[in-house]
A and B are shown apart, each in its own frame.
Chain A
Amino acid sequence: MNTEALSRQFAAELDRLPRSAEAAARRAAAFEAFSAAGFPTRRDEQWRYTDLKPISTAELDFAPPPPSTELVSRVAESLDQAGFDEATSRLVFIDGCYCDTLSRTTAAAGISLASLASCSEADLPVHAHAPFDGHPLATLNAAFARDGALIAAEDGARTTAPIELVFVAGGRSGLAAHPRIVIDLGQGAEVTLIQHLLDLEPGRGWFNAVTEIVQAPGSHLTLYRLQDHGTRQFHTALMRAELAEDAKLNCGYFDLGGRLVRNDFDVRLAGPGAEADLNGLFLASSGQHTDNHIRMDHIAPRTRSAESFRGIIGDRGHGVFNGKVVVHRDAQHIDARQSSDNLLLADNAEIDTKPELEIYADDVKCSHGATIGELDDDQLFYLRARGLADEEARNLLTFAFANTVLERVALPELRELVAARVAARLPNGATAGGTR
């Protein structure tokens, strides 16, 4: 997509969006910022291992039309079949467009759930308009975002059951959706969210999301994301969180699908005692490319972070991990850990990992570790000596490798779901499903 085509689309979109002059100006500024630099290339250190050409050269429609009634009912049917529960508080989006009939916005007391487009501008938290310096794709999202989810919790409010955000690609190829998720937790609020990304049927499109999180003191957010797109979708996402005193953030990202996936995490531990745990598991094979890119800023003293990402990389798969922990001057008593463990299962698989530490305070305990390798020969032999077939043993060990991440999922049903999906993706999937 050349700049001119993009500019035309932007001009058309700007006319269509019923927003105030300020909002329009913000969009225009964001678009200008993006256009000035264009799509990042591999010459940019942040994109050293991820080539965006498949996206930047694709012809995409940045203004996906709303789904037809027929598409909505097919999505409803497929969600039912997949075991989604209608009674759950949930927001459903089809190709980025909010789908009222499939959503249920009632939630626990003190928790509001709404589509962003339905909110009056005055209701939106200020950070919903934040600029995204250093994140060109998020800037593009700021220019084109139409809709998304708002989850706001009042002081002390708690979810009783996880809230679900379901993003479905409807199978119409060539669409580029730019959803925005805004999460705003009041003091001591506790919220659990599950984000599902799936394809109704295989299609090629681009999903370019931004999630903004602001956590007041003492709030807890648990955020899971199961990305189970078809293997032709492009998926890029920025998750940005700012944590006040004693706030806790716990994320589990499971990337099973997608052709080209890039997740950016930008977490700021701004208040003393804030803690963030980021866990990730990805599978990349058959030409899939998955890149997890993290920046963890320890701004306040007594903050803790732990990142643990595991990749299983198969035939023609390419995994990337880039984690940067920055401990700011005078942020003392810091505990930061980071690990990137990767299994290479095929001859033409590739992994590039870059765990980084940048430390400007001295009373710190920081560490990172990275491992790359294939399955352990001794373990394989041990299992085979106990009578398992080679392939069975491999699947078992591969699943075990993934399972250390899955074990951190606190919701049993979700854990089972992800485990089953992971097992299904293993070369001899069916047999490994029952190894939990």
Chain B
Amino acid sequence: MATEQKEITDLVKRKYEHGFVTDIEQEFVPPGLDEDVIRLISQKKGEPEFMTEWRLKAYRHWLTMKEPDWAHVRFNPIDYQAISYYAAPKSQEDAPKSLDEVDPKLLETYDKLGIPLHERARLAGVAVDAVFDSVSVATTFKEKLAEAGVIFCSFSDAVKSHPELVRKYLGSVVPHRDNFYAALNSAVFSDGSFVYVPKGVRCPMELSTYFRINAANTGQFERTLIVADEGSHVSYLEGCTAPMRDENQLHAAVVELVALEGAEIKYSTVQNWYPGDEQGVGGIYNFVTKRGECRGANSKISWTQVETGSAITWKYPSCVLRGENSVGEFYSVAVANNYQQADTGTKMVHIGANTRSTIISKGISAGHGQNAYRGLVRVLPTARGARNYTQCDSLLLGDKCGAHTFPYIESRQRSARVEHEATTSKISEDQLFYCRQRGLSEEDAVNMIVNGFCREVFKELPMEFAVEAQNLMNVTLEGAVG
């Protein structure tokens, strides 16, 4: 047994593939945070007055708040004055007008990441917005999307070119006082993506944003806002990577989704921030607030996430189901290997009648990883006929890791039906033996079983990313078999 245990642990060792640093000139705002820094960020971005004021309001509120301590994660205190709140590639100073003007080194970075910015993008049929540290560097397919009336641009652009939409929807789902990290983000966010899909439009392609942290000692605070107007449909994917560094870096993003009547938003994430090394040194602190509101009747918001990276993940993509018959979904695979800590899950708040939600969560713990599902299903008295189904499964690979499940289920509506099931077990020795008897190596057998365990979630991803997610899983768990 002992030897097998060891072999299994050997299998989980893995390398982080995206750990390179891009050597380009960057422009920083010096570390530290006060009202002047916020004004400077706002000014650098040429924002209208209302944005500056909104940021300052958030900052003043943030000063009154304390970091949350309820999550099942441990980390040393963050010195918010030691972080640089703005880093931009220097060439951004005179903003590239087209992709051709983008620093070739930057394009190379995205090439290494496998992100299709040029022709590959066209082939893949994916429109990409790429955010490098704090600034959006390129958005592809602008014209084709514009034909359909879809606005897909960097947040900074949106503030300038569509201030009325930004003003109407920014902070309407995640208010600036929502939580500590959301307040900080509201004060200092530098860029992100903005999507608006007009009434009745089915977005002609997958939209995609790649986030990349490059500079040292910076935080990344992007903000994404997606508004799907009545009867529209959009599918959006984000991917994330960061270089390998010994110090921890903070990533505190906010994502807001608004689905109006009959609209549907599908939001998929493949999060592969640098997780730290095998001893738990370095890695990204991924403290993210993601929330969608099904504002109109018959609307739908679906979150799918594959969380393999980050030293610490703290995120709960949620749905506020306000419109009647609206639907919320959360499909999640979270991996905690080596010394990674994940505390992730969702909130489904049922307000409208006949609202439905589904939660499928698959947690995988390996090495010394700690993986917690934390979820809330709340049925308010107004949510007649509401339905929730939750399935949370945890898989343990090795005897030094932990798997935890913290569901909160609250119902104040008799006609609502809520079902929650959870299981925790280790990878089955019978399954392993069966596969090995058929000639598969132990590692392949584990990958196959783990991928099978995650299948319900992977099948929710857009096709081209499902394969990527599966490969990422295999790389993440290389040497992690327990």
Direct contact of A and B (CB under 8 A): yes
B425 touches A370 (CB 8 A): no
Q: Number of A-B pairs whose CB atoms are under 8 Å?
A: 113
> Digit string of B398-412 for contact with A (CB within 8 Å is 1, else 0)?
111111111111111
Query: What size tier do the contact residues of chain B reach?
Result: 35 or more
Of B99-107, B133-141, B416-424, B459-467, which binds chain A?
Answer: B416-424
Tell me how far the C-beta of A111 lies from the nearest C-beta in chain B, rounded to whole angstroms: 40
> Digit string of A319-346 for contact with B (CB within 8 Å is 1, else 0)?
0000000000110100000000010111
Answer whether residue A354 sits at the interface, using C-beta atoms and an 8 A cutoff: yes
Answer whether residue A360 sits at the interface, using C-beta atoms and an 8 A cutoff: yes
CA distance A66 to B423 in the complex (A): 51
A354 touches B423 (CB 8 A): no
Interface residues of A in 105-123 (CB under 8 A from B): none
Instruction: Please give, as numbers and ranges, the residues of chain B lying within 8 Å of A45 by CB-CB distance.
Output: 70
B426 touches A364 (CB 8 A): yes
Query: What size tier do the contact residues of chain A reach?
Result: 35 or more
> A360 with B381: in contact, given A369-B421, A371-B419, A373-B417 (CB under 8 Å)?
no
CA distance A164 to B342 in the complex (A): 49
B420 touches A369 (CB 8 A): yes
Interface residues of A in 346-365 (CB under 8 A from B): 346-365
Q: List 30 A-B contacts (CB under 8 A).
A: A330-B399, A342-B411, A348-B381, A349-B414, A350-B411, A351-B411, A353-B409, A354-B406, A354-B407, A355-B420, A356-B406, A357-B394, A357-B405, A359-B394, A359-B396, A359-B402, A364-B396, A364-B424, A364-B425, A365-B423, A367-B422, A368-B422, A369-B419, A370-B407, A371-B418, A371-B420, A372-B417, A373-B416, A373-B417, A374-B414
Instruction: Please give, as numbers and ranges, the residues of chain A lying within 8 Å of B421 by CB-CB distance.
Output: 367-369
Instruction: Please give, as numbers and ranges, the residues of chain A lying within 8 Å of B415 by CB-CB distance.
Output: 374
Answer whether residue B309 sits at the interface, using C-beta atoms and an 8 A cutoff: no
Tell me how far the C-beta of B99 lies from the nearest C-beta in chain A, rounded to whole angstroms: 49
Instruction: Please give, as numbers and ranges, the residues of chain B lying within 8 Å of A368 by CB-CB distance.
Output: 405, 420-422
CA distance A330 to B400 in the complex (A): 9
Instruction: Please give, as numbers and ranges, the residues of chain B lying within 8 Å of A349 by CB-CB distance.
Output: 412, 414
> A362 with B408: in contact, given A367-B424, A372-B416 (CB under 8 Å)?
no
CA distance A55 to B223 in the complex (A): 46
Answer whether residue B397 sits at the interface, using C-beta atoms and an 8 A cutoff: yes
A354: contacting residue among B404, B409, B417, B418, CB under 8 A: B409
Instruction: Please give, as numbers and ranges, the residues of chain A lying within 8 Å of B398 by CB-CB distance.
Output: 362
By beta carbon, the residue of chain B nearest A338 is B422
Extra contacts, 7 of them, besides A329-B400, A374-B417 (Cβ < 8 A), are A346-B414, A353-B410, A354-B406, A359-B424, A361-B399, A370-B419, A371-B417
Tell me how far the C-beta of B367 lies from the nearest C-beta in chain A, rounded to whole angstroms: 12
By beta carbon, the residue of chain A nearest B70 is A45
B426: contacting residue among A351, A362, A372, CB under 8 A: A362
By beta carbon, the residue of chain A nearest B423 is A367
Instruction: Please give, as numbers and ranges, the residues of chain B lying within 8 Å of A350 by CB-CB distance.
Output: 410-412
A362 touches B396 (CB 8 A): yes
By beta carbon, the residue of chain A nearest B400 is A329
Answer whether residue A366 sits at the interface, using C-beta atoms and an 8 A cutoff: yes
By beta carbon, the residue of chain A nearest B418 is A372
B410 touches A351 (CB 8 A): yes
Shortest beta-carbon contacts, A-B, top 4: A362-B396, A344-B414, A373-B417, A372-B418
CA distance A117 to B9 in the complex (A): 57
Which secondary structure dominates where chain A touches chain B?
strand
By beta carbon, the residue of chain B nearest A322 is B408
Instruction: Please give, as numbers and ranges, the residues of chain A lying within 8 Å of B404 by CB-CB distance.
Output: 356-359
Interface residues of A in 139-165 (CB under 8 A from B): none
CA distance A352 to B412 in the complex (A): 9
Instruction: Please give, as numbers and ranges, the residues of chain B lying within 8 Å of A352 by CB-CB distance.
Output: 408-411
CA distance A426 to B170 in the complex (A): 51
Instruction: Please give, as numbers and ranges, the residues of chain A lying within 8 Å of B379 by CB-CB distance.
Output: 372
B407: contacting residue among A329, A355, A367, CB under 8 A: A355
Interface residues of A in 363-422 (CB under 8 A from B): 363-374
Instruction: Please give, as numbers and ranges, the residues of chain A lying within 8 Å of B381 by CB-CB distance.
Output: 347-348
Instruction: Please give, as numbers and ranges, the residues of chain A lying within 8 Å of B420 by CB-CB distance.
Output: 355, 368-371
CA distance A342 to B414 in the complex (A): 10
Interface residues of A in 167-210 (CB under 8 A from B): none
Tell me how far the C-beta of B410 lies from the nearest C-beta in chain A, rounded to whole angstroms: 5
By beta carbon, the residue of chain A nearest B402 is A360
Instruction: Please give, as numbers and ranges, the residues of chain A lying within 8 Å of B419 by CB-CB distance.
Output: 369-372
CA distance A330 to B401 in the complex (A): 11
Interface centre among A349, A363, A370 (most CB of B within 10 A): A370
